[in-house]
Structure 1
């Protein structure tokens, strides 16, 4: 009887360890947080006039250190030159806009991010850096905007269960155009600027939940 109990317990522990150590190719999920703008109407204040932000994301895991993330996000941004000492020849300006962000970023984990495989030094949590490319779209009649953006930032991942992850990420997006805040603020001082010298940025701070799927390798239990 004792042998049978030990056998059953051994099989159960083996199954638990196998599931715990399983690797997956993808993560999918969503996030929510806040977004804010920095530009002509806000040249220095972080998290000024934050708006709600939402995202859907898909992450392709390459190995324990590297991943590629694809995301589709939307955020509300706004600004008002009256909040600061900056004064423009045309007077005071303010705006409120809903943007859509579509992009891809490479992520580098500081630690071997994963669960199980202790001999590889995997950890349930890891800080990471990100850098990528994306597109910003403001679907507004007669004052819309579409251009390329360059996202960069950092975050923290934590694996709460073999297939479940939570994360907190801060990123900034430098746009390659100067009309994110509307045509009235595209050239407020009458000086033309190049794509790399404009002052339009926006930031996203997101909390996310993702689920792993797509096993990297199949486990055969025929020997049990």
Structure 2
């Protein structure tokens, strides 16, 4: 119950922050300097679902990200990104303490998932990260948004009763997820930035791994949506643009 309340709170905060991207007064337009960033990151992608019901850090597998970030106002930035990953999940290796669960031992299922995620998120920075007058520029932040996912999946099983249904060639599917999480960014110099981020993605479905009801028999929990995660480190380059002030009229007309 506590985890559900915490998750709902994060989602509400994320929605409010994304809304503020569109309804914030034009502070960015009045700012003297506008910034944008191009960057890439490396890290690990994780999965929590039917084959791996518990998050486990050691289950991370390699992932890379490419992103573009732009400031909307002093505390708010918008970021669009692509995340790519390939991972393998298995009924009997998802966590040490749950190795001998009867259902998992019966299914004996393995899934290979390759995914590409396209996301758009809003970030709220707790400190004024883009103030160049500061000697040390660092800021924690949290983010929330929406993401589209395209993935290839192949499921294998060692259970002969399930082989006719589960053992299939790679399938390509699409899905929608809600990304949210926390991070911290640190300025190495005027232009170069180092970032650290942990984010969760809640899928609006429960069929990421293609394990559900088979021949009228329930072989999975239909009431919990799948999740996937990304945590990693990033390097980005900031581009500064000086905004020229509007022209000043010495003799405004009657209608001005």
TM interval, shorter chain, is 0.7 to 0.9
Partner residue in 1 for 2:85: 75
User: Which residue number in structure 1 is paired with residue 177 of structure 2?
Assistant: 149
Change over 3 Å in CA distance of 1:86–1:192 after alignment to 2: closer
Does 2:80 align with 1:54? no
- SS of the equivalent of 1:85 reads coil
Cα RMSD of the aligned pairs, angstroms, is 2.4
The structure 2 residue matched to 1:137, chosen from 146, 150, 175, is 150
Indicate yes or no: 2:142 matched with 1:110: no
Report the counterpart of residue 124 of structure 1 in structure 2: 137
**Match for residue 39 of structure 1 among 40, 49, 57:** 49
- Residue pairs, 1:205-220, within 5 angstroms: 205-217=231-243
Q: Is the contact made by 2:49 and 2:227 (CA closer than 8 Å) also made in structure 1?
A: yes
Q: Where do 1:89-108 residues align within 5 Å?
A: 91-108=107-124
Q: Secondary structure at the match of 1:88?
A: helix
Which one of 21, 35, 38 corresponds to residue 28 of structure 1? 38
For 1:76 and 1:57, the matched residues in 2 are separated by: 19
Structure 2-normalised TM-score? 0.67
Distance 1:70 1:170, change over 3 A: same
Q: Distance in 2 between matches of 1:75 and 1:94?
A: 17
Corresponding residue to 1:86 among 75, 82, 101: 101
Q: Is the 8 A contact 2:47 2:55 kept in 1?
A: no
Aligned counterpart, 1:175: 203
Structure 1 position 217, deviation (Å): 2.0
Separation in structure 2 between the aligned mates of residue 111 and residue 35 of structure 1, nearest angstrom: 28
The change in CA–CA distance for 1:46 and 1:80 in structure 2 (over 3 A counts) is same
SS of residue matched to 1:57 = strand
Q: How far did 1:107 drift? A: 0.4
Other structure's SS at 1:58 match: strand
Indicate conservation of the 8 Å contact 1:34/1:51, yes or no. Answer: yes
- Conserved in 2, the CA contact under 8 Å of 1:34 and 1:53? yes
Q: Deviations over 1:60-100 (max 9, x none)?
A: 11122100110011012221111333333862211121111
- In structure 2, how many angstroms separate the alpha carbons of the residues matched to 1:139 and 1:78? 12
Conserved? CA contact 1:74–1:99, under 8 Å? yes
